[in-house]
Amino acid sequence: MAPAYKLTYFDGRGLAETSRFIMKYGGIDFEDCRIKREDWPQIKSKYPFGQLPVLEHNGKTVNQSHSIARYLAKQVKLAGNDDWENLEIDAIVDTFNDLRLKIVAYFYEQDEEKKKTILENLNKDVFPQYLTRFEEIVKKNKGYFALGRLTWADFCWATVSPGFDMITKVDTIANYPELKAVRDKVNSLPAIKKWIEQRPKTDF
Amino acid sequence: MAPAYKLTYFDGRGLAETSRFIMKYGGIDFEDCRIKREDWPQIKSKYPFGQLPVLEHNGKTVNQSHSIARYLAKQVKLAGNDDWENLEIDAIVDTFNDLRLKIVAYFYEQDEEKKKTILENLNKDVFPQYLTRFEEIVKKNKGYFALGRLTWADFCWATVSPGFDMITKVDTIANYPELKAVRDKVNSLPAIKKWIEQRPKTDF
Query: Are B133 and A49 inside 8 Å of each other by CB?
Result: yes
DSSP letter, residue A186: H
CB distance B17 to B23 below 8 Å = no
Same domain, B92 and B45: no
From the CA of B15, how many Å to the nearest CA of chain A? 14
Confidence of residue A37 (pLDDT cuts 50, 70, 90): very high
Test the A interface: residue of B5, B19, B71, B147 with most A CBs within 10 Å: B71
Give me the mean pLDDT over the A13-34 stretch: 98
| Residues 24-53, chain B, touching A (beta carbon < 8 A) | 48-50
- pLDDT at residue number A1: 79
B67 touches A at CB < 8 Å: yes
| Beta bridge partner(s), residue A63 | A54
Same domain, B157 and B132: yes
- What is the distance, to the nearest Å, from the Cα of residue A132 to the centroid of all Cα atoms in its chain? 20
Residues of chain B above pLDDT 70, percent: 100
- pLDDT at residue number B34: 98
Higher pLDDT, B11 or B2: B11
Same domain, B17 and B37: yes
Show the domain range for B11. 5-77+191-198
pLDDT in tens, A167-186: 999 999 999 999 999 999 99
Same domain, B116 and B165: yes
Query: Are A94 and B48 inside 8 Å of each other by CB?
Result: no
pLDDT in tens, A124-138: 999 999 999 999 999
Amino acid making up residue B93: V
Domain count, chain A: 2
Residue B161 backbone dihedrals phi, psi, to 5 degrees:
-65, -30
Give me the mean pLDDT over the A42-71 stretch: 97
* Structural domain contains residue A204: no
Confidence of residue B1 (pLDDT cuts 50, 70, 90): confident
Same domain, B28 and B47: yes
Give me the mean pLDDT over the A49-74 stretch: 98
Strand order in the sheet with B54-57: B30-35, B5-10, B54-57, B60-63
Distance CA A14, CA A30 (A): 18
From the CA of A13, how many Å to the nearest CA of chain B? 20
B63 touches A at CB < 8 Å: yes
- pLDDT at residue number A44: 96
* Structural domain contains residue B204: no
Same domain, A57 and A120: no
- pLDDT at residue number B50: 95
Same domain, A73 and A93: no
Same domain, B87 and B73: no
The string of DSSP codes covering A52-67 is S-EEEETTEEEE-HHH
Distance CA B180, CA B138 (A): 10
Give me the mean pLDDT over the B154-167 stretch: 97
Give me the mean pLDDT over the B82-110 stretch: 97
B66 touches A at CB < 8 Å: yes
CB distance A202 to A13 below 8 Å = yes
* Structural domain contains residue B115: yes
| Beta bridge partner(s), residue A55 | A7, A62
* Structural domain contains residue A203: no
Give me the mean pLDDT over the A20-28 stretch: 98
* Structural domain contains residue A119: yes
Give me the mean pLDDT over the A65-75 stretch: 98
- CATH assignment at residue B120: 1.20.1050.10
- Is the model's pLDDT at B158 over the cut of 90? yes
- Strands B5-10 and B30-35, sheet pairing: parallel
* Structural domain contains residue B172: yes
Same domain, A140 and A166: yes
* Structural domain contains residue B29: yes
- CATH assignment at residue B18: 3.40.30.10
Same domain, A72 and A17: yes
- Is the model's pLDDT at B127 over the cut of 90? yes
- Is the model's pLDDT at B16 over the cut of 90? yes
Same domain, B87 and B65: no
B95 touches A at CB < 8 Å: yes
Same domain, A61 and A100: no
Residue of A nearest to B64 (CA): A91
Mean of pLDDT over chain A: 97
Which chain B positions have a beta carbon within 8 Å of A71's beta carbon? 83-84, 86-87, 90
Give me the mean pLDDT over the B120-137 stretch: 97
* Structural domain contains residue A92: yes
Residues of chain A above pLDDT 70, percent: 100
